[in-house]
Structure 1
């Protein structure tokens, strides 16, 4: 299972991969099923529930990380600065709690509620509730009278929760891969789904030459979009990297760029910082369990940090044995992974925080949409 979770992303982002072709019929069925499901919710054949306060859903149409959580942190800060009290709803992916919803704070156990939930609780001043049933989480937050607006992290496909605004995050490097739906490609929904969202955010973080070469290897030929009717009807709106150049059904004013800016590395155990220059003379073990590990490795290379990369599956439940390298070199990881490693972290465990930077005009546009 571990090998499969690492293999599939390579299949999805490699043009004309034979395994993707073999899985294309299943992808066709998946695409049809998600379209029917969305139609059923849109026509109220399946019930939707609105919690009674404005709901902003942040999500994506591909699997893996695109920068949703940093964006939610940025949005929470923006809304609080404008006098609102946002609460945050998350799925609690990877959490093993026996009962849901779960209230999450900075000291919650990520094995129970998931790493992203704890990260959001630590980085925002908002109440956070995790539950696979987002409606139940939303109801819990609203019933507590501690929020007047909800942010739903990774809830674009959770249609049972009615929403007032949808924000889709697109990976500015990996794009939509081969253009196929799961399991042949990375798409949770067809690319045309971007037509229905209110805002599109393109994560255009810088990448080093190694990451760029990896990216070119993936995208140096036209995408092998799926056979059997899965051909991407928005192909004319893709750039050379297979990234939607814009939402073809919306105004360009509704599209914004986001960059993730790294800060100084911090110790996992007690959040003590060191300047980046401290890590430029000695190799580090770069560890990450995110959807696209090359993004993290590329960032470290671009910062001039020599690395020994170690990729794990997304949301990997780290143990001390996973990081028991024989040498004494520093271990540098993502902030999301640090949440899971804090219980056994030692002096050589560090994480790299990142902050989302967006056009200030986005805040004005978002508040304008909310007021309509």
Structure 2
């Protein structure tokens, strides 16, 4: 198995060093513990102002499902958000999504995400969710204002799903879904000494229900919850992925295994090694090209002579087929979607928390 080269940027190297430190309580974690105490105090003050009613909470007038995590980065919020949207649609709801749009040029603007949008304007994950779900997606640092703008533009939307809005308390919520992956709570310490954004057992701000979702198929904390399994779907040529053609069969993996040319994989996500491990588990011999999370891929970070490359969907939204033909015409690129199924258990949990969709029983408006 070939080792992955070091990340191409100082930011990516720092991210990987911190991720390694957060697995235990070594020297670096202990050195950062005073900063973690300050971070904890600021977080407690932030939450206290909302609990005491000293900061205003806004509700868009329809149920709100917040998908977030207590652990920083890469826990599976985006595939969970897409699974929640699919589950709500199965239940008869008409969802829309709001997100901060992390990594975009102007995070203060409230924008509608269209399939023609550029990732640097709306954020890579927001564009990915728009392309994958087909539902209205709006971005804004102020998620409450983004939700109100979405509903004004799309009055048919009767439930809002907030991607990564757990700590954005200005947006009132009816349901919270806390997402964990196989890391669990890491070393159990707050940022920057550990991976936690807030203490593991912080009380929920949900009006009706709080649920825990484990995205890697294992309950990695003591908190009870739904155990789901995200998985890589078979690779799809970049142009076909952008055209939203049907997913390829599982046999698509075999074509890459048998190819005679070198194969590389690029990942500008929170945990590139996890992506490379998943590809190697499919029997692929790859060279990993790790990049920083939300890397803009400008310029394209692989050599012009590279014949074959695999991308995550989060990176593929920054590489349209015409750009590939212009800047790296000699490289064939495949995209490997990451999916989390909308299981009956997830649908049941949402139905229990929200009740029936409008037109299927009791009205859905928030109290």
Judge same fold: TM > 0.5, yes or no: yes
Distance 2:271 2:151 in 1: 34
Aligned-pair distance for 1:106? 1.7
Alignment TM-score, normalising by the size of structure 2: 0.84
- How far does residue 184 in structure 1 lie from its aligned partner after superposition? 1.2
Distance in 2 separating the partners of 1:64 and 1:122: 22
What is the alpha-carbon distance in structure 2 between the residues aligned to residue 333 and residue 20 of structure 1?
A: 32
Tell me the number of residue pairs that the alignment of Structure 1 and Structure 2 aligns: 327
Q: CA deviation at 1:333?
A: 1.4
Separation in 1, partners of 2:254, 2:136: 36
- 2:288 corresponds to 1:315: no
Superposition deviation, residue 134 in structure 1: 0.4
| Aligned residues: CA RMSD | 2.1
2:162 to 138, 145, 152: 152
Alpha carbons of structure 1 residues 129 and 327: separation in structure 2 relative to 1, 3 Å: closer
* Matching residue within 345, 353, 358 for 1:369: 353
Q: Is the 8 A contact 2:101 2:107 kept in 1?
A: no
Instruction: Evaluate the alpha carbon distance shift between residue 309 and residue 325 of structure 1 in structure 2; reply closer, same or farther with a 3 A threshold.
Output: farther
Aligned position for 1:30:
39
Q: Does 1:280 align with 2:257?
A: yes
Asked if the contact 1:54–1:150 (Cα under 8 Å) also holds between the matched residues in 2, the reply is yes
| Alpha-carbon offset, residue 95 of structure 1 | 0.8
Q: Structure 1 stretch 344-353 or stretch 190-199: which is displaced more? A: 190-199
Give distance in 1, aligned partners of 2:197 and 2:168.
12
Verify: 1:332 aligned to 2:310, yes or no.
Answer: yes
CA distance in 2, matches of 1:55, 1:188: 21
Q: Which residue of 2 aligns with 1:182?
A: 191
In 2, the alpha carbon distance for the partners of 1:165 and 1:195 equals 9
TM-superposition CA deviations, 1:58-95 (whole Å, max 9, x none)? 00011111111111111111212222111100001001
Partner secondary structure for residue 366 of structure 1: helix
Match of 2:226 in 1: 256
Q: Distance in 1 between matches of 2:71 and 2:107?
A: 28
| Secondary structure class of the residue paired with 2:149 | helix
> Residues of 2 paired with 1:371 and 1:287: CA distance?
42
3-state secondary structure, aligned to 1:300: helix
Report whether the alignment pairs 1:244 with 2:256.
no
| Deviation, structure 1 residue 146 | 3.4
Give CA deviations for 1:139-173 in whole Å, capped at 9, x if unaligned: 101212131110000000000100000000011x2
Maintained 8 Å contact 2:100/2:107: no
Q: CA deviation at 1:7?
A: 2.3
Larger CA deviation: 256-265 vs 113-122:
256-265
- The CA distance in 2 between the partners of 1:75 and 1:103, in whole Å, is 20
Query: Relative contact order (C-alpha < 8 Å, sep 6+): which is higher?
Result: 2
The 5 A counterparts of 1:155-174 are 155-171=165-181, 173-174=182-183
Contact 1:288/1:296 (<8 A) preserved: yes
Structure 1 alignment gaps of length 5 or more:
207-238
Task: Report the secondary structure of 2:30's partner residue.
Answer: helix
* Alignment map for 1:114-153 (pairs within 5 Å): 114-144=123-153, 145-153=155-163
Tell me the distance in 2 between the aligned counterparts of 1:336 and 1:155: 19
Gaps of 5+ in 2: 1-9, 326-330, 357-367
Indicate yes or no: 2:329 matched with 1:353: no
Preserved CA contact (<8 Å) 1:256 1:358:
no
SS in 2 for 1:357: coil
Conserved 8 A contact 2:86-2:342: no
Whether contact under 8 Å (1:127, 1:146) holds in the other structure is no
> How far apart, in 2, do the equivalents of 1:359 and 1:200 lie?
14
Query: Aligned pair 1:267/2:244, yes or no?
Result: no
Q: Is the 8 A contact 2:82 2:129 kept in 1?
A: yes
In 1: Cα distance, 2:217 partner to 2:41 partner: 33
Shift of 1:320: 4.2
Matches of 1:157 and 1:280, distance apart in 2: 43
TM-score by length of 1: 0.83
> CA contact under 8 A between 2:100 and 2:142: conserved in structure 1?
yes
1:112 aligns with 2:90: no
Structure 1 residues 70 and 115: alpha-carbon distance in aligned structure 2, compared to 1, 3 A threshold:
same
For 2:283 and 2:152, locate their aligned partners in 1 and report how far apart those are by CA, in whole Å. 49
Residues 110 and 327 from structure 1, CA distance in 2 versus in 1: closer, same or farther, beyond 3 angstroms? closer
Greater fraction of residues in helix: 1
